[in-house]
């Protein structure tokens, strides 16, 4: 991928959108593109964190293991999102395991190189501003989990991840989707059964169909609420 395309990839990311081109090129000088197939591991929980990552294409699952060996999905990473950046500020070990949920392209950014860039005052000030914006995003995510019910979070997830369409090709399991919206599989299954019964959706295999005019009707309802 040409260097200028990678600059645009960084600009479209959630973390580096407002960083200047010269600083983006400096980041890229310590980065490399990695390709993963489905179920490939990018890193394991507890590994020494030598890099953090930007998902360019595909999907990545972040999971954490409990003391009894159970795995809990922490997040489904979408293209444009940065993950494992916690190694820049806290202990250098990865707190989760990252696994590719399908064929994926990931930009690997060297931790050592990035920390060197923070010695530049201009770069450091830009990055601090981005971190503040990211903190606001995390606060909003907490609000979503506490203020909206499971059904609302489900449709918000569909729209954020895939867009407002009538038909979707789902690339994650129902269990992972349940975790991503902050509920348990049993609750998620009951919700899907209810939505199927009232003819809001039909889910067959990896294909999900919403009722005709669903998003238009939802927007009308939201405006009247």
Reported residue count of the chain is: 225
Structure confidence at residue 1 as a pLDDT band (50, 70, 90): very low
Domains of the chain: 3-142 (2.60.120.10), 148-224 (1.10.10.10)
Contact between 100 and 62 under an 8 Å Cβ cutoff? The reply is no
The pLDDT score that the predictor gives to residue 165 is: 93
pLDDT in tens, 150-189: 898 899 889 888 899 999 999 888 888 888 887 888 999 9
Terminal-to-terminal C-alpha distance of the chain: 47
Using alpha carbons, select from 200, 195, 207, 206 the residue that is nearest to residue 167: 207
Taking residues 179-204, what's their average pLDDT? Answer: 90
Element (H, E) at 200: none
Contact between 95 and 56 under an 8 Å Cβ cutoff? The reply is no
Distances (CA, A) of 23 to 20, 28, 68: 5, 9, 44
The pLDDT score that the predictor gives to residue 144 is: 52
**Residues 14, 20, 25: CA angle, nearest 5 degrees:** 90
Residue keyed to tokens 């479209």:
12
pLDDT in tens, 23-40: 889 999 999 999 999 999
User: In the chain, what percentage of residues exceed pLDDT 70?
Assistant: 85
Taking residues 141-154, what's their average pLDDT? Answer: 71
């Amino acid at each position: 991928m040409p260097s200028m395309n990678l600059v645009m990839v960084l600009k479209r990311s959630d973390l580096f959108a407002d960083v200047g081109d010269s600083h983006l090129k400096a980041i890229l000088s310590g980065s490399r593109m990695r390709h993963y197939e489905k179920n490939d591991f990018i890193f394991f929980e507890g590994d020494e964190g030598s890099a953090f990552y930007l998902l360019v294409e595909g999907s990545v699952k972040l999971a954490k293991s409990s003391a009894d060996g159970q795995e809990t999905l922490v997040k489904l990473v979408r293209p444009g999102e940065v993950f494992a950046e916690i190694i820049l500020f806290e202990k250098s070990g990865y707190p989760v395991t990252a696994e590719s949920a399908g064929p994926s392209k990931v930009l690997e950014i060297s931790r050592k190189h990035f920390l060197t860039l923070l010695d530049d005052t201009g770069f450091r000030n830009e990055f601090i501003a981005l971190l503040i914006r990211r903190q606001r995003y995390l606060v909003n995510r907490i609000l979503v989990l506490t203020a909206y019910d499971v059904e609302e979070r489900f449709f918000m997830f569909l729209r954020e991840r895939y867009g407002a369409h009538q038909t979707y090709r789902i690339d994650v399991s129902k269990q992972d989707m349940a975790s991503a919206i902050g509920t348990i599989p049993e609750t998620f299954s009951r919700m899907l059964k209810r939505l199927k019964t009232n003819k809001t959706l039909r889910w067959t295999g990896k294909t999900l169909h919403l009722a005709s005019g669903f998003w238009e009707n939802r927007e009308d309802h939201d405006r009247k609420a």
